[in-house]
Structure 1
């Protein structure tokens, strides 16, 4: 049975880089993958961009109200049509036609819980492995709805680690506006797109509490 995987970590833990590497690994072996990300992640527009400078255009964006499984089914059918066209004049039997080997989701914390449920159905009912990458908590240490649901239902959980400025393992994502730490505001603020330049810093619990004056939410 195919599985739903959630690979999570604080910001700058290499999630997008790992996703792009996973896609490369599949394709190097002649397998097809689909890449997607939530539409709300406006950074990079329709691309998955690694902080190392590597980027790739997604196959589809997921709007907050979208039926994610229906979107996947549409693009899976496209992959099959393209595979059949490439095999002409010697098409393979439909039962053995090339198919999507994996669905890769970036910034999965921005998905709606119902869309995460769709990811599980894609893995279990459609038989396609799904690997979702994202962060667990926002700048106030509260779980994003998508991440909370992934932690509840994913078959496999894997933490991707990064370090705080002090050298300890980073757990939290602190928000800065104009270079100053802030602990109030909307849950979602995409970094570097605001006039006040919203940025984030991955921090250990000790450094986060020090900057927040002991506040966690």
Structure 2
């Protein structure tokens, strides 16, 4: 039986790189995959999964209105899919996570989701919360804080590197806007 996987981490842990490597492994063996990424993330152009180390691939876009089960079912009917891979999974809705569970349960296709667990205030993203509750397998991808400890938090910073404490949950950015920190250094920055 196919499973729903959630690979989570803080920023800059290599989630997109890992996703692209998994996709390569399937394709190298002659298996078809379907890649997805959030329409809201346009840092590298629309419909692209891009890693910081230079790997990239085209991907389908999802937004809050996308019926993941219907779209994947239609593609599976046209080309038998061996795996579905979702980048920026924190931006999925709870309903979409249930739909991805349906891809596993009804279509027997494994779904590998990659995303950030919490936002810049330490709050769960809706997609991440649903995946933490519904995924068959949870795997943390680790990265390190500036002190060498495991980074589990995402600090949003302004142009001068100062912590931003308020704002919308979603603000797209990379190293220019976010730092991956351990909890201790995150709290120090947020209280400082």
Coarse TM-score class (shorter-chain normalised): over 0.9
Corresponding residue for residue 180 of structure 1: 162
TM-score, normalised by the number of residues in structure 1? 0.85
TM-score (norm 2): 0.95
Once the two structures are TM-superposed, the CA of residue 198 in structure 1 deviates from its matched residue by 5.6
Gaps of 5+ in 2: none
Equivalence for 1:46:
47
Write the mapping of 1:98-117 to structure 2, written as runs, cut at 5 A: 99-117=80-98
* Residues 132-157 of structure 1 deviation map (CA, whole Å, 9 limit, x = unaligned): 00010000000000000000010000
Write the distance in 2 (CA, Å) between the matches of 1:129 and 1:167. 34
The correspondence for 1:204, drawn from 175, 178, 182, is: 182
Corresponding residue to 2:112 among 124, 131, 140: 131
Using the TM superposition, name which of 37-46 and 150-159 deviates more. 37-46
Mapping of residues 55-94 of structure 1, within 5 Å: 55-58=56-59, 60-79=60-79
8 Å CA contact retained: 2:97, 2:131: yes
Partner Cα distance (2:144, 2:176) in 1: 20
| Partners of 1:36 and 1:106 within 8 A in 2 | yes
Q: Deviations over 1:7-46 (max 9, x none)?
A: 0011111000000000000111111111011212222221
Deviation at 1:78, TM superposition (A): 3.1
Q: Does the CA-based 8 Å contact 2:118-2:154 persist in structure 1?
A: yes
SS at match of 2:128: helix
The answer on whether the counterparts of 1:190 and 1:198 sit within 8 Å (CA) in structure 2 is: no
RMSD between aligned residues:
1.3
CA distance in 2, matches of 1:6, 1:35: 15
User: Which one has a bigger Cα radius of gyration?
Assistant: 1
Aligned counterpart in structure 2 of residue 191 of structure 1, from 173, 176, 187? 173
The residue matched to 1:182 in structure 2 has which SS?
A: coil
**Equivalenced residues, count:** 190
Q: Deviations over 1:172-214 (max 9, x none)?
A: 000012122101000000016xxxx961000001100111118
66-75 or 111-120, which deviates more: 66-75
